[in-house]
Amino acid sequence: MGTLSEHEPLLLNKADEADYAKKVTKFIPFVQWVIKFIIWVIFVAWGTLIVLYPTKFMQGILESMLMATIGTIFGITGSVFLVFSGPVLLMTFLSFAYLMVSPAEEFHGKKKLKFPTFRLWTFPVLVGGPFGVVSAAELIGIVFFIVYLFWAVAVYTIQNRESISKFNLPFWEESLYASFEKVSVSNLVSGCYRFLYKLPDAGTFWAAHWIYRIILLGTFVYTHNKGMLQWNDFGIANLPGVISLAAGLLMWVTSFHPVRKQYFELFFYTHQLYVVFFVFMALHAGDFVFSIAAGGIFLFLLDRFLRFCQSRKTVDLLSATCLPCGTVELVISKPKNLQYNALNFVFLQVRELSWLQWHPFSVSSSPLDGKHHMSVLIKVLGGWTKKLKDNISKVSEEPDNELSTQLHPRLTASVEGPYGHASPYHLMYENLILVAGGIGISPFLAILTDIFHRVELSKPCLPKNILVVWAVKRTNELSLFSSVDIESVCPSFADKIKLEMHTYITQETEPPLEDGEVHKSTRRSHFPMKNQNKMSGLAGTANNIWPGIYAVTSTIGFIIFMALTELFYIKPFGITAWWLKGLLFVACMIASIVVFGGLVVVLWHLCERRDLNDAKWMEEDEKSNSVQYNKLRTYPDAYQTTVANLTTANYGRRPDFEEIFHSASERWGGDVDVGVIVCGPSTLESSVAKECRSKNIKRSKNQPFFHFNSHSFEL
C-alpha cells in the first residue's frame, strides 16, 4: 500500500472544495469545445465524401480500398459501412460524451447581446407554400439538396454514357436508374430517418418528399423494361424493391397535410410500415449497398426499440379534469429523474379506451411544477377524446370516497416520450411574444409557469417582457388560463416580469352575461396511486451514461453478430445471393439491439426500480402526490384575481399582427431581439411569419429584430 504524506490532508476543507469545483467548472467548457470540434471535423469530412462520391477520383479511392478488403472477415460490406455509416455512429458516441461532461442544468443563461442578431434558422423566407414556413437555414439546405441532386445525376449519367450505343433505350434506362438509386441511397440517412418517424422541419420534410419522388421515377424507368417480378440472386432483386416501394408509397401519400389532419390514425398506422420498407429495401439492394445508409437506420432502430420498451409500461393518472370549454387535463405520474422542458410533447395511449391508438399532446406543465408529475391538455375533437371525456365525467359525478374508487376502474395510460426540442429556446429571449390559436395555448401555459418558477427560484432566465396573443372562438375557452396560478408560483412576478395578455374571441361580438360563471372552479377526479406506476425513465432521463452504454453496446453487438454470421454461415455455406446477405445484415442489426441493447435496458430498468423503491423516494412521492391533489382538487380562482387583470379581451375580431408588433416595438425599445413563438393553425402561423419577415426586411436602425419560431408540430 502507498504511504500518505503527513502534510497531505485526508479530506478537503470547504475552501479547497470550492477551489477544486472552480477548476473543474473552467475545464468543462474546454472539453466540450474539443468534442464539438472533433464532431465538426468528422461531419465536414463525411459531407465532403458524400458530395464528391459521384466523381471518378473519389470512386477510384474507394474502389482501391474495397478491393483491399476482399477476403477479410467483413469484406466489402464492412468497408462500405465503415466509410459511409461509421462517421454517423462515431458522431453519435461523441455526442453522448458531450452530454456526459455537460452540467445537469439544461439552461445556463446567455449574455444579453448589445445589438439584434440575424439568425438563419429564425428568419422566415418562404411562407404559405406546400411545406409551410421555410427559414433561411432550411432554404439553404433545400438549395444545396437541389444542386447536389442535379450534380450527382449528371455525373452518374455522363459516366455511363460510354455504355450507351446510339442512345439504346434499355441501356439509357439502366444508366438513369443507377443514377437515381445512388443519389437516393446516399441521401437516405438524412431524409428517410426523419421522414418516417421523427418530427420533420420544412427542409428535411421537403427533402424526404423529393427523395421518394426520385426513387419512384428511377424504379419506373428501370422496371419498365426489366420486369417487376424478377428476383435475382446476384445483383438487384426487383420484386423486393417493388414491395419496399409500395410500403413507402403508402407512407408518402398519407404524410400529406390533408390526410394527416383528417385521418391521423391512418397516417400513424401506415407509418409502421417502415419495417417492410427497410427490410425489403435490404433484400432489393443487398448488404453492401444497404450499408451506405445503414448508420442512420441503425440509430433509428436504437431509438425505436428504446421507445418501445418505454411504452410497454402502464402509468397511473394522478388526476383528470373536464374543463367547461370541452378540454381535458390529465396529470401523469413520472419519476424524479425523467427530465423534459416546456416545449416537449408525449404520445399517449389510454388502455381503457383502446390498445392500439396513440395520440400526441403538448406538455402543459413546467418541469419545475413538480418532480413527480407531468400535465397535458387534450381538446375534445374526435371519437377517442370524446370517450376519454365521458369516462372522466363518470368518475367526477361519483362521490369522492374510497368505495367509489374501488368500484370504478381507474384509468391507466402508456406514455412514449417526451419528444421535441432539447433546447429551451423560450428562455433565450429577453422579449417574448407568444401567439396561440385555440388549444395551441397549451405549451404556452407550460412556458409561462416555467418562466415564473425560474424567476422565483433565481434560475437562469432571460425573458423580462412577455406578450401573449391568443385567438379563440368562444369565451368559455378562456377557462384554460385558470390553470396558471401566477401568484402562488411567483408572488412578486409584477416586479420582475412585465406580462400582457391579449385575447381575441372571434365568434362573439360582446361578453356573455354569465361571464362570471365561465371561469368557475371545476371539480377534479382523483385516481390514487396504489401501485406506484410511473412513466419509464428510459427516455428524457437526466442520466446520459445509460443511453451511451446502450448505443455503444448495441454497436459492438452488431459487429460481433456480423462476424459470427460471416464465419459460421456465409463462408461455410457459400452464400452469394445479394438479397439473402442483405436480409442477414438487417437481422444482425435487429438482433444486436434486442440482445445486447436489451441487456443494457434490463440493467437500466433494474437500476431505475431500485431508485424508485427507495424508502426516501417513496415517501417523497407520496407527499408530492398528496400536495398535488390537494392543491389542484379544484381549479383556483387565479383567473379572477390575477390573469383577468392582465388580460385585454377583444371581441368579434382577429389579431392585427402589424399593429401588435409595432406596439411591442415601441414599448420594448429599439435594438433588441424579440422571440416570437407560434402554436396554432397553419393560417395563423403563416400570418405571423409574414409579419416577422416584413418587419425584419424593412427594419432600420434602432428597431427590433423578430425571430420566428414555430411550435406547431404536425406528424
Residue 35 inside a domain? The answer is yes
Residue 52 inside a domain? The answer is yes
Mean pLDDT of the chain: 75
Categorize the per-residue pLDDT at 525 as very low, low, confident or very high, splitting at 50, 70 and 90.
low
**pLDDT (0 to 100) of residue 598:** 93
Taken in order 544, 541, 301, 216, the sign of the CA dihedral is: negative
**CB within 8 Å of 54: residues ≥ 6 apart:** 151, 152, 155, 156, 159, 182
Q: How far apart are CA 479 and CA 517, in angstroms?
A: 10
**CB within 8 Å of 509: residues ≥ 6 apart:** 651, 652
**pLDDT (0 to 100) of residue 519:** 47
**pLDDT (0 to 100) of residue 586:** 93
Residue 495 inside a domain? The answer is no
Taking Cα atoms as reference points, which of 330, 480, 348, 345 lies closest to residue 410? Answer: 330
Taken in order 643, 646, 651, 654, the sign of the CA dihedral is: negative
Domain count, the chain: 1
**pLDDT (0 to 100) of residue 27:** 75
- 542 compared with 702, residue with greater pLDDT: 702
Categorize the per-residue pLDDT at 552 as very low, low, confident or very high, splitting at 50, 70 and 90.
very high
Report for 63-67, 596-600, 622-626: range of highest mean pLDDT: 596-600
**pLDDT (0 to 100) of residue 584:** 94
Q: Please tell me whether the peptide bond between 418 and the residue prior to it is cis, using omega within 30 degrees of 0.
A: yes
Q: How far apart are CA 511 and CA 513, in angstroms?
A: 6
Model confidence at 143: pLDDT above 60: yes
Taking Cα atoms as reference points, which of 530, 539, 528 lies closest to residue 311? Answer: 539
pLDDT tens digits, residue range 407-429? 445 677 888 878 877 778 888 88
Model confidence at 713: pLDDT above 50: yes
Domain range spanning residue 51?
Answer: 17-101
Mean pLDDT of 2-11: 47
Among 16-25, 501-510, 527-536, 560-569, which is the least confidently predicted range? 16-25
Taking Cα atoms as reference points, which of 563, 538, 436, 471 lies closest to residue 72? Answer: 563
Please name the residue that has the C-alpha cell 471535423: 41
Asked if 365 contacts 375 with a C-beta cutoff of 8 angstroms, the reply is yes
Residue 127 inside a domain? The answer is no
Quick one: what percent of the chain has pLDDT higher than 90?
A: 10
**CB within 8 Å of 388: residues ≥ 6 apart:** 328, 350, 353, 378, 380
Residue 54 inside a domain? The answer is yes
**pLDDT (0 to 100) of residue 629:** 46
Taken in order 200, 181, 53, 581, the sign of the CA dihedral is: positive
**CB within 8 Å of 83: residues ≥ 6 apart:** 49, 62, 65
How many Cβ atoms from other residues are within 10 Å of residue 431's Cβ? 24
Residue 460 inside a domain? The answer is no
**pLDDT (0 to 100) of residue 295:** 86
Strand ranges inside 451-563, DSSP E: 465-472, 498-505, 524-526
Mean pLDDT of 208-232: 61
Among 415-419, 508-512, 649-653, which is the least confidently predicted range? 508-512
Model confidence at 11: pLDDT above 80: no
pLDDT tens digits, residue range 429-453? 889 999 998 888 888 888 888 888 8
**pLDDT (0 to 100) of residue 511:** 74
Please name the residue that has the C-alpha cell 394522478: 318
Report for 266-270, 583-587, 667-671: range of highest mean pLDDT: 583-587
Residue 21 inside a domain? The answer is yes
Mean pLDDT of 541-563: 87
Q: Write out the H or E segment, with its range, that includes residue 55.
A: none
**pLDDT (0 to 100) of residue 560:** 94
Residue 53 inside a domain? The answer is yes
Model confidence at 196: pLDDT above 80: no
Predicted TM-score (pTM) of this structure: 0.80
